[in-house]
Chains A and B, each alone.
Chain A
């Protein structure tokens, strides 16, 4: 069974940093693109970033460029999102998803709240 479990969310002050993790199991992690998608409270979905199988290709949305970095550790079956210079508008539930052009499986999400 495919499982994706996010962690690392929490309350952080504006300008602060957080590192989200996504632990994958039930499939060959190194064989798939992976993605991060976020959802602000009561709002719709926003694609944040994705990364290819070996980490050599990464893409992120303009609103987080220069602040967020996606990475992965295939030996640990884990996906990461390093978030720096956080803003109030980054407050959201962050989901990791397997796949990119076809996001097949999603984790339960981890809530990031940016507030003073």
Chain B
């Protein structure tokens, strides 16, 4: 199984300031079809997960442009340009290049 490692596990951020979460995979996530199936999901307290970013850097429908994804191969980053109160929650990276699909441990974003 591909192990996904997120850092940090907790991120206290001041409102209006940027935030960044890293995700490293145990092996390259480049699929044989040429795509890299690395997604980022947000889970607000008491809510189901919500897709933010797919295939490294594509924002899903309705996701604010303050969220961006980058990276390649085994190293990926989610950035929030200016954190808002509604961004509080747990963020997961997820690989769907190789079954079983696996998730990072989650990073808890909280407001200072």
Contact = CB atoms under 8 A, between A and B. Distances in A.
A73 interface: no
B1 to A, nearest CB: 9
A102 B35 CA distance: 11
A104 B60 CA distance: 8
B48 A102 contact: no
B89 to A, nearest CB: 13
B55 interface: yes
Contacts of B105: 44
A107 B48 contact: yes
Interface residues of A, number: 19
Contacts of A61: 100
A44 B100 contact: no
Prevailing SS type, chain B contact patch: loop
Interface string A99-116: 011111111110000000
Nearest to B47: A108
Contacts of A68: none
Contacts of B102: 47
A45 interface: yes
A89 interface: no
Given A95-B49, A101-B37, A108-B48, A44 B106 contact: yes
Interface in A65-116: 95, 100-109
A32 interface: no
B99 A102 contact: no
Contacts of A54: none
Contact of B101 (A47, A62, A105, A107): A47
Interface of B: 35, 37, 39, 41, 48-51, 54-55, 60, 92, 94, 96-97, 99-106
5 contacts: A44-B103, A44-B105, A46-B103, A47-B101, A102-B54
Given A44-B103, A45-B103, A108-B48, 10 more contacts: A37-B49, A44-B92, A45-B41, A45-B49, A45-B106, A101-B35, A101-B96, A102-B55, A102-B96, A103-B94
